[in-house]
């Protein structure tokens, strides 16, 4: 087979491009942990309230988790690492029970949810920069309560600096709106919504489906 001199000359550049592409996908991945703990012979889910000092979604309720770093072996390790960093639960005290299907968040982030068992809440060390408090909800409560649902619209709109003189046919209004289903759970004074509620709904649906097998 005749070698392509142009390809041979540019092979290094092509290889570098492939590495950069892989890094891009790593940056856009995240993992969350769904912690399950037994309290008085009843299974509970553990949630954290985000610090009000955070710029992104302050005060919202979520599971521990975060971006997949380049040094992480896998999204599963990311979920464990983030749980340790946010709640102080040692990685060797987290037992992974399974993985839910991946989610694509509204901004394009790929989310890997992992269900895990933790043994105790006695030695939690909250990262005050990220976590304000924690609470638990009985798993049975979610099984017995359907989430409320609403729609969220996502679209594109040119900013003030958009060069309309270069693209005269481009509208200044919102375009290409898409509709996303949003879930809401209200337990006592806590409102759990958005991606966290969507993950819970997926988890509960899996439990109910397996119970029927």
Query: Could you tell me the CATH number of the domain that includes residue 178?
Result: 3.90.79.10
CA distance 104 to 30: 10
Provide the whole-model pTM: 0.79
pLDDT of residue 204: 95
- Vertex 101: Cα angle to 184 and 67 (nearest 5): 80
pLDDT of residue 153: 78
187-207 pLDDT, tens digit each:
999 999 999 999 999 999 999
pLDDT of residue 22: 43
Return the number of other C-beta atoms located less than 10 Å from residue 175's C-beta.
11
pLDDT of residue 58: 80
Partners of 131 in beta bridges = 50
Closest CA relative to residue 83, chosen from 26, 54, 52, 121: 121
- Vertex 91: Cα angle to 89 and 95 (nearest 5): 95
pLDDT of residue 56: 74
CA distance 59 to 179: 25
CA distance 64 to 87: 8
Q: Residues 6 or more apart from 89 whose CB is under 8 A from it?
A: 35, 83, 118, 123, 124
Partners of 44 in beta bridges = 37, 138
What is the tally of structural domains in the chain? 1
Edge-to-edge strand ranges of the sheet holding 190-193: 148-156, 175-187, 190-193
113-134 pLDDT, tens digit each:
999 999 989 889 999 999 999 9
Residue ranges for the chain with pLDDT beneath 70? 1-27, 106, 176-177, 212-213
Residue 203 is part of which domain span? 5-211
């Amino acid at each position: 087979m005749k070698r392509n001199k142009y390809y041979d000359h540019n092979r290094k550049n092509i290889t570098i491009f492939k590495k950069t592409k892989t890094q891009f996908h790593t940056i856009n991945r995240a993992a969350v942990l769904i912690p399950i703990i037994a309290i008085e012979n009843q299974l509970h889910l553990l949630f954290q309230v985000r610090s009000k000092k955070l710029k992104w979604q302050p005060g919202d309720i979520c599971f521990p988790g975060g971006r997949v770093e380049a040094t992480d072996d896998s999204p599963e390790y990311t979920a464990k690492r983030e749980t340790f960093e946010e709640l102080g639960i040692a990685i060797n005290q987290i037992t992974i029970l399974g993985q839910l299907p991946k989610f694509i968040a509204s901004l394009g982030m790929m989310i890997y949810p992992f269900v895990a068992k933790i043994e105790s809440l006695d030695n939690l060390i909250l990262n005050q920069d990220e976590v304000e408090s924690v609470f638990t909800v009985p798993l049975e409560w979610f099984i017995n309560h359907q989430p409320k649902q609403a729609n969220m619209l996502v679209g594109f709109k040119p900013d003030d600096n958009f060069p309309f003189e270069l693209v005269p046919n481009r509208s200044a209004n919102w375009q290409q709106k898409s509709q996303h289903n949003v879930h809401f759970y209200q337990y006592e004074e806590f409102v759990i919504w958005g991606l966290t509620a969507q993950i819970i709904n997926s988890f509960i649906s899996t439990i109910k489906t397996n119970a029927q097998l």
